[in-house]
Amino acid sequence: MKKKNILKLSLSVLLTVFLTPVYSQTQASNIQVLTERFVRHGSRVSVSMDIVIPEGMNVGSNDMLILTPVLKSNENNMDYLNLPPVAITGGLRNKIINRKNKLGGDLPFDTQPEIILKRKNKTEQSINYGVSVPYKSWMDDALLAIETNVSGCANCSEPTDNQLIVQNILPKKDPELYKLTFIVPEVEPVKARNDRHTATFNYIVDRYELLRDYKNNSREFAQVDSVIGEIRDNKDLEITEFSIAGYASPEGGFEHNRKLAENRANSFANYLVTKFGIPRNKFTVDGIGEDWPGLRKAVAASALTDKQAILDIIDNVSNPDARDGRLLTLSGGDTYRILLNNYYPVLRRTEYSVAYVVRAFNVEEARQIIKTNPKLLSLNEIYLVAESYSSDSKEFREVFDIAVRLYPESEIAIMNSAAADIESKNLDTAIERLKKIENKPQSWNNLGVAYILKGDVEKALKYFTKSADSKDPDGMANLEIVEKSTGAKR
């Protein structure tokens, strides 16, 4: 009777062992993710992070914890991508997996893990995770989560809730999200302008009288009258100075030609005094004389047979009169005749510049003037005109384009026109402009914005970091936005 009871007890214990479901000894708790970083390189996106398994997370000997990073669209649940998982195994499960791996057996994974880690319970372990995946447009607004699945020995599994890591892996391509740098130009105390022009009058040989009806002079006079008349009649301008320089061709004596050029320049000044009533004391007149630099430039660009010989004479013969004599000897005089007929006439010219000051304009006046005569506006006035339009209007960008055409060397004009391009999403144009002043700290923030909107986080971080290090508040604010939205660190 006693033995029978013992047998029943043994059977009961065995049935309990084999028929009762076996549950995992592993309890998954929130992992930590640090230094997450997402960088788009053209057609691929790299994902890296440090996954920290906390000290309090224990994994049973025969259990396995599977962490699957998932990229998911914030807009469409159908757009997602499971990244290669991380498998964290207990001691016995790790041995089984390693044995199967060596023998070529089937491993218990739907997707081959990026990392298989043997868990050391009661210790903190860190996993350096990094993969590269094809870029999809929906990733511009996507989150990263980690799905956790606990697998036990009896083919049971205990899925847990997803853990959100980052709401946006790539910064949104929205110009309004970032601070663009516009620079307000300083007000010009005096708006001084200087227009340069050239008049190529014909003169009777060795004379300086200016004759309207001689050869094509009537056309030159008409051009001069138009230029000077427009300035004189503009009530917004005040002429302050005329500068006139006379040039001659090299034939004849050097000193004679200098004096001839001076007399011709004075005859032009006298014409302007008589025609437009400009006081003679506002003129400065100079007789430059023979224009050897102009001749050299024209010959260097020519296909003349004796081109090199002509250049050698100009460069190596110091006496101007001796140069002219040497040129006469080339090709039996044929080369000199070509120079005399085709190259010398354009050297005989009068260059003049008109200096004037322009009154200041209010915004309403400037909005009209920018359509007709924008060179009368200062950079500050142009900026105020742009600010009078909505930043998303075509006029806003057009005004800054005008500014950079009028002031091509101005760093402020380049900066503001590039910022306007960025707001209009003309990113390549903006970058091309800013590259001209890339060594200037004021350009770095806008370069960062242009690159972040192109999706190039790596270059954006480079420029935002430089801008932030230079204590630019816009660069510091934008760097913080990128670091928070991507987890990237400088």
State the total domains in the chain. Answer: 3
Query: Is 389 inside a domain boundary?
Result: yes
Pair 159, 201 in one domain: no
pLDDT digits (tens, 9 = 90+) for 45-79: 889 999 999 998 889 888 899 999 999 999 888 99
pLDDT digits (tens, 9 = 90+) for 344-362: 998 989 999 999 999 999 9
Q: Which CATH number do you get for residue 457?
A: 1.25.40.10
Q: Which CATH number do you get for residue 139?
A: 2.60.40
Position 325 pLDDT exceeds 80: yes
Beta-sheet pairing, 283-290 with 237-248: parallel
3-state secondary structure of 123: coil
Query: Is 417 inside a domain boundary?
Result: yes
Position 422 pLDDT exceeds 90: yes
Pair 95, 152 in one domain: yes
More confident residue, 303 or 456: 303
Q: Are 433 and 418 in contact (CB under 8 A)?
A: yes
What range defines the domain where residue 155 resides?
Answer: 32-170
pLDDT digits (tens, 9 = 90+) for 376-399: 999 999 999 999 999 889 999 999
Pair 218, 291 in one domain: yes
The label of the residue with tokens 């510091």 reads 476
Pair 156, 216 in one domain: no
Query: Is 6 inside a domain boundary?
Result: no
Output phi, psi for 447, to 5 deg: -65, -40
Output phi, psi for 313, to 5 deg: -65, -45
pLDDT digits (tens, 9 = 90+) for 246-267: 999 999 899 999 999 999 999 9
Position 26 pLDDT exceeds 70: no
**Strand blocks (E) in 135-262:** 142-151, 157-159, 163-166, 191-199, 237-248
Query: Is 274 inside a domain boundary?
Result: yes
Pair 106, 202 in one domain: no
* Contact residues for 328 (Cβ-Cβ < 8 A; gap 6+): 336
pLDDT digits (tens, 9 = 90+) for 364-374: 999 999 999 99
Pair 425, 320 in one domain: no
Pair 233, 155 in one domain: no
pLDDT digits (tens, 9 = 90+) for 264-281: 999 999 999 999 999 999
Domain's final residue, options 138, 170, 202:
170
Query: Is 268 inside a domain boundary?
Result: yes
Q: Which CATH number do you get for residue 291?
A: 3.30.1330.60
Query: Is 362 inside a domain boundary?
Result: no
Residue of 434, 371, 404, 360 whose CA lies nearest to 180: 434
**pLDDT (0 to 100) of residue 159:** 54
Pair 268, 334 in one domain: yes
User: 268-275: which pairs have CB atoms within 8 A and are 24 or more residues apart?
Assistant: 268/199, 268/201, 268/210, 268/244, 268/350, 268/352, 269/242, 269/244, 271/210, 272/224, 272/228, 272/242, 275/225, 275/228
Pair 235, 340 in one domain: yes
More confident residue, 110 or 353: 353
Confidence of residue 125 (pLDDT cuts 50, 70, 90): very high
Position 102 pLDDT exceeds 70: yes
Pair 220, 335 in one domain: yes
Pair 202, 113 in one domain: no
Domain's final residue, options 305, 322, 356:
356
Q: What is the pTM of this model?
A: 0.64
Position 213 pLDDT exceeds 60: yes
Q: Across all residues in the chain, what is the average pLDDT? A: 88
**pLDDT (0 to 100) of residue 487:** 59
Share of the chain above pLDDT 90, in %: 67
Pair 274, 405 in one domain: no
Query: Is 368 inside a domain boundary?
Result: no
Query: Is 72 inside a domain boundary?
Result: yes
pLDDT digits (tens, 9 = 90+) for 129-158: 999 999 998 998 899 999 988 876 444 455
